[in-house]
């Protein structure tokens, strides 16, 4: 989670088109373009927040909680002020005096905010209302889409909601759809590829192909679904060692599906240590955000050896990426470091805690850390893992910028 995958990081501009395609893809700028909206005080990052403001703020809080840092009251108040009347969140509300647009309600932002409020403490009403809204938009299959009413459930959204439910003290297995009585785990199992799938044995798909219903292995969706199937959230910690190794087995339970998904990730990461991302027209290149999400998933599922190996790769190579992409990127690296027992104060020479804190208002409290080789950072730009599911023709026609989530619906990763 998811991100991460998200993870495994929906634009209003794409809403009508992606509804026709049966999917949704969030986006965010990452080219240094000045924000077209005034950046509100209290917000982390300097780039346009309209596609990921709530999400990056929430990830920042979660990472700070991991490192014993309490965000500034101004920052917490900003996130609380983004809530809609019914407890849901959109990606960003420039004018909080205006009622939320139902077409822009965002399950991912809401689920991330719920987890963030649990992390910072207090805000019981916001947590309760957020969870209540998430339950109200659960689909018949037990899962969630990115935007309610626009497309079917997807693995990434369902997984991040599981994390929110668990963080809030709910039992995800008891949260059932009004029609059919399906749970989030039932939904996640429908995205799991069988062991005899030649392209991705044991992996998860983002969602079925809207035309053929075929499942295509998706590394980012797999990372999110593994943590979700284990009933864990964005900041999942290491689980007991998986004695089954990387063998794939027929999955009839969430735990079995999580094992298969983590085995797929371990095999995929083994040759290089990182996942690859190919943007349209570009050659394959490392996908730092999705790799960080995969590290958390592997650690949570007990694939300790590969989790540590990929965390080491991130420590050596992800510094420039994090600096460019800002708070959410730093947060993802904090999650990866924490899940594998690495030191976020010295992650390949980079002090992730100091760097993250510098992207927002000065926190109330901060840990005392050993200075590292790279502790001086100005307020950086925001970023999040690449989740995008729009077809190549749509991407070419619309030309969206950096995409938040890593969701490639019909592509094998």
Contact 24, 146 (CB under 8 A): yes
User: Which pair of tokens denotes residue 361?
Assistant: 């208002």
pLDDT(143) > 50: yes
Q: Residue 150: which of 272, 63, 296, 21 has the closest Cα?
A: 21
Of the CA atoms within 13 Å of residue 395, those in its CB half-sphere come to 18
pLDDT of amino acid 284: 81
H/E segment holding residue 261: helix 254-269
Q: What is the pTM of this model?
A: 0.83
pLDDT digits (tens, 9 = 90+) for 350-359: 999 999 999 9
Higher pLDDT, 108 or 376: 108
Residue 365 banded pLDDT, cuts 50, 70, 90: confident
pLDDT of amino acid 282: 63
pLDDT of amino acid 144: 98
Contact 9, 52 (CB under 8 A): yes
pLDDT(296) > 90: yes
Bridge partners (DSSP) of residue 365 are 70
Mean pLDDT, rounded, for 162-173 = 98
pLDDT of amino acid 280: 64
Residues in the chain: 413
Q: Mean pLDDT of all residues in the chain?
A: 84
pLDDT of amino acid 277: 83
Residue 283 banded pLDDT, cuts 50, 70, 90: confident
Mean pLDDT, rounded, for 33-40 = 64
Residue 11 banded pLDDT, cuts 50, 70, 90: very low
pLDDT(21) > 90: no
Mean pLDDT, rounded, for 138-146 = 98
pLDDT(22) > 90: no
pLDDT of amino acid 58: 98
Residue 279 banded pLDDT, cuts 50, 70, 90: low
pLDDT of amino acid 403: 35
Contact 9, 406 (CB under 8 A): yes
pLDDT of amino acid 263: 98
Q: Residue 108: which of 88, 123, 124, 135 has the closest Cα?
A: 88
Q: How far apart are CA 328 and CA 332, in angstroms?
A: 6
pLDDT(132) > 50: yes
Bridge partners (DSSP) of residue 3 are 5
pLDDT digits (tens, 9 = 90+) for 176-226: 999 999 999 999 999 999 999 998 999 999 999 999 999 999 999 999 999
Sign of the CA dihedral 342, 348, 354, 358?
Answer: negative
Among 106-120, 129-143, 385-399, where is mean pLDDT lowest?
385-399
pLDDT(394) > 80: no
Q: For the beta carbon of residue 163, count every other beta carbon within 10 angstroms.
A: 28
pLDDT(10) > 60: no
Distance of CA 142 to the CA centre of its chain: 19
pLDDT of amino acid 278: 62
- Rounded to 5°, the CA angle 412-53-208 comes to 25
What share of the chain in percent tops pLDDT 70? 78
Residue 38 banded pLDDT, cuts 50, 70, 90: confident
Mean pLDDT, rounded, for 66-86 = 97
- Rounded to 5°, the CA angle 42-329-368 comes to 70
Residues 134/112/301/385 CA torsion (nearest 10 deg): 120
Residue 36 banded pLDDT, cuts 50, 70, 90: low
Among 155-169, 233-247, 264-278, 390-404, where is mean pLDDT lowest?
390-404
Contact 195, 184 (CB under 8 A): no
pLDDT(398) > 90: no
Q: How far apart are CA 399 and CA 395, in angstroms?
A: 5
């Amino acid at each position: 989670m998811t991100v991460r995958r998200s993870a495994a990081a929906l634009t209003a501009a794409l809403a009508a088109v992606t509804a026709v395609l049966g999917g949704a893809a969030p986006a965010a700028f990452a080219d240094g373009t000045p924000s077209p909206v005034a950046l509100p005080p209290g917000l982390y990052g300097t780039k346009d927040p309209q596609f990921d403001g709530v999400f990056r703020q929430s990830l920042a809080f979660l990472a700070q909680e991991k490192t014993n840092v309490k965000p500034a009251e101004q920052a917490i108040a900003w996130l609380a002020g983004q809530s809609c009347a019914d407890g849901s969140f959109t990606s960003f509300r420039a004018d909080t005096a205006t009622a939320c647009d139902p077409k822009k309600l965002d399950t991912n932002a809401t689920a991330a905010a719920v987890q963030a409020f649990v992390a910072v403490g207090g805000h019981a009403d916001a947590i309760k209302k957020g969870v209540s809204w998430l339950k109200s938009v659960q689909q018949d299959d037990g899962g969630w889409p990115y935007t309610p009413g626009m497309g079917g459930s997807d693995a990434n959204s369902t997984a991040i909601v599981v994390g929110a439910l668990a963080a809030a003290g709910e039992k995800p297995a008891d949260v059932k759809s009004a029609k059919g009585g399906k749970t989030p785990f039932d939904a996640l199992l429908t995205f799991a590829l069988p062991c005899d799938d030649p392209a991705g044995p044991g992996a998860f798909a983002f969602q079925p192909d809207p035309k053929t219903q075929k499942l295509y292995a998706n590394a980012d969706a797999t990372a999110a679904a593994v943590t979700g199937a284990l009933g864990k959230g964005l900041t999942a910690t290491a689980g007991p060692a998986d004695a089954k190794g990387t063998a794939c087995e027929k999955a009839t339970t969430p735990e079995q599906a999580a094992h298969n998904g983590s085995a797929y990730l371990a095999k995929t990461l083994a040759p290089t240590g990182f996942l690859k991302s190919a943007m349209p027209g570009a050659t394959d290149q490392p996908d730092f955000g999705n790799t960080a999400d995969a590290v958390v998933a592997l650690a949570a599922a007990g694939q300790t050896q590969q989790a540590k190996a990929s965390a080491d790769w991130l420590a050596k190579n992800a510094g420039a990426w994090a600096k460019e992409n800002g708070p959410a990127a730093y947060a993802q690296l904090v999650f990866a470091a924490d899940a594998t027992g690495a030191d976020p104060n010295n992650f390949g020479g980079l002090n992730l805690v100091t760097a993250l804190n510098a992207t927002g208002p000065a926190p109330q409290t901060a840990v005392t850390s050993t200075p590292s080789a790279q502790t001086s950072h100005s307020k950086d730009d925001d970023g999040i893992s690449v989740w995008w599911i729009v077809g190549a023709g749509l991407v070419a026609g619309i030309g969206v910028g950096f995409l938040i989530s890593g969701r490639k619906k019909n592509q094998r990763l």
